[in-house]
Structure 1
Amino acid sequence: MSTIEQLTAFITTVESGSFSAAARKLGKVQSAVSQHIMNMEIDTGLQLFDRSGRYPILTANGEKLLPQAKAVIAQHHRLNQQVTALGSEEVLKLTLAIDEGIPYAKLIKLLPQLEILHPELELEFLCASSQDVIQLVIDKRASSGLIFSDNVYPDSLDFETLGTVKFELLVSTLHPLAQVDSVHIDMLKLHRQLVISSQGSKVTWFNQAHSPDVWHADNYYVLLELAKSGFGWTLLPEHLAQDALKTNALCKVPVQFEQLGWQANVDVIQHSSVQINANDTLRSLLRRLLQD
């Protein structure tokens, strides 16, 4: 059976590219790292690295073992974090960071249940774009985050999908795009696009620019007002635009090609090292957020 020290040396060597680099990262002598891996190879009966070149290269067996080793180490970290949490006083503050495009009005109606179960809890709410919410949770500035799904999350984050939100391609009823059916997507490129952005300016699937003329905002309410004023076309969560659609301040862009609207997954995320009992209660309540 491989030990935690052996698995750590194995993973760090793969990530660092050499035994010496792994030793520096782990604060050990190179011989100790090499010995851990040799012992692991003896214990498993497998050669994990090809050492014939200047740098060790994973063998086929090593490649197959790597994800399992990472899973064991991740679980070991979680165990240590849980032990630490059980031995400390309950944290009485919970910070929820929310993407403003997510329909969170129902959350207010769910909060009394959280208040009953955790009467001493101090709540804080932050609003930001989804990418900025992710960073807030990574930095542990927020206990949990409510965001539009990212394809890949850092290993330090846990996530759960709650449901979907519909986005629509919208424009002012007075805008040229509202006056005629667009035959192809290049018609949109002739007009300014209004795009959601993060403070870190990271481009993701939900803030991809299609037009060469782009204005950015870090929340959907600003995009809504810009679109209503005729400054360009944009993709907005349908629930935010309902009133503007009813009053004909906005309309769906008439198009003949495939629609640019989509159903966006909504995830709740939290840092795996943050152990707050109220977080579990909140996640349970959030599962009802997007239910009809």
Structure 2
Amino acid sequence: MAFTSDSVQVFLAVLDHGSFSAAARSLRRVPSAVSMAMANLEAELQLTLFDRGGREPVPTAAARALEPQARQLAAQLRQLDAHALALTQGLEERLAIAIAPELLSAPWSAPLAQLAAEYPLLQVEVLVAPQADALALLHAGRVQLSLVFERPSLDGRESFQEVGNETLVAVMAPTHPALVAAGPGGTLREEHLTNTRQIIVAGRDTGSSDPRVIFARHIWRTDNPVAALGLLEAGLGWGWLPRSFVRSQLAGGTLVEIPLLGLTNSMALYVDVVWSLERPMGLGARRFVELMQQAREARHAGR
């Protein structure tokens, strides 16, 4: 093999510094060692890389043709070295994050992009699962982090960091019989919500949902908020969904925020990144939590 990590380093040093002696100084070697390394590389490749006819070596067309791939290889080697060092410092081989589907529009992708920039070889897996299932994946060790709404009660197995907030709104189709019966400008009461079918997003296996959002006696469940949207737009019930998630439907008039009398039609909830206290957090998980918190502070500072 002609190109090695060392020969690539020397080759690029000569290109960057314009002479064997300057390259040698940058590499802390003697000039003869650099000159010999390039001569050996040329012999292996059977190519002339530097024209030595003048005072300083001049890169040939062959050298310039090889330069882009040599730089790419050097960058990959630096990434490999950095990744190996990070692994010794506790970086996970793979970071898996479960996200509640209602929070897919939450600002988590920018912190993840920053994490990828810092650890480009870290493998990342993003799973989308209803909140109950996302937490179950966490406790089963399938994921290291879950991005979910605040829980109604604390679990001693968990720790968390608040990273944002979201407002749930009670919505239904404007053609729903309850709204039609109320007439233009009419309002609904708590008993209307109680007696009208409610569409909720619940865990796939457990069927559980946040008890704070369950009002109705008659409930339809789905594990997918997009499916919930379809049911709501079809006039099959009412439901709580994040305002950011239904913004386009509200603007288009296929859904409306339910006009309620004596009851708020919105519910503010914090958004948390949750991890298990039963397993040590890796370097990537800790850094992602930090980046999420920094992003939250930046949003608050920009208000």
Same fold (TM over 0.5): yes
Distance in 2 of aligned mates of 1:241 and 1:89? 40
Shift of 1:202: 2.8
1:271 aligns with 2:273: no
Shift of 1:163: 2.3
Distance in 1 of aligned mates of 2:102 and 2:161? 18
CA contact (8 A) 1:171 1:253 kept: yes
CA contact (8 A) 1:104 1:289 kept: no
CA contact (8 A) 2:105 2:245 kept: no
Shift of 1:176: 2.0
Shift of 1:105: 5.2
CA contact (8 A) 1:177 1:254 kept: no
Shift of 1:183: 4.8
2:115 aligned partner, one-letter code? L
Shift of 1:212: 2.1
1:217 aligns with 2:218: no
Alignment of 1:1-292 (within 5 A): 90-104=91-105, 106-179=107-180, 180=182, 181-198=186-203, 199-208=205-214, 210-272=215-277, 273-287=279-293, 288=295, 291=299
Task: Pick closer, same or farther for the CA change 1:142–1:265 going to 2, 3 Å.
Answer: same
* TM-score, structure 1 as length reference: 0.65
Secondary structure at 1:278 match in 2: helix
CA contact (8 A) 2:111 2:288 kept: no
Equivalent residue number for residue 4 of structure 2 = none
Q: Which blocks of at least 5 consecutive residues in structure 1 are unaligned? A: 1-85
Secondary structure at 1:257 match in 2: coil
Q: Which blocks of at least 5 consecutive residues in structure 2 are unaligned? A: 1-86
1:111 aligned partner, one-letter code? L
1:267 aligned partner, one-letter code? D
Structure number with greater Rg is: 2
Identity of aligned residues (%): 20
Shift of 1:289: 5.3
* TM-score, structure 2 as length reference: 0.63
Shift of 1:219: 2.3
Shift of 1:154: 2.9
CA contact (8 A) 1:193 1:232 kept: yes
CA contact (8 A) 1:196 1:220 kept: yes
Kindly report the root-mean-square deviation, in angstroms, between the aligned alpha carbons of the 2 structures: 2.3
Q: Aligned pairs, how many?
A: 207
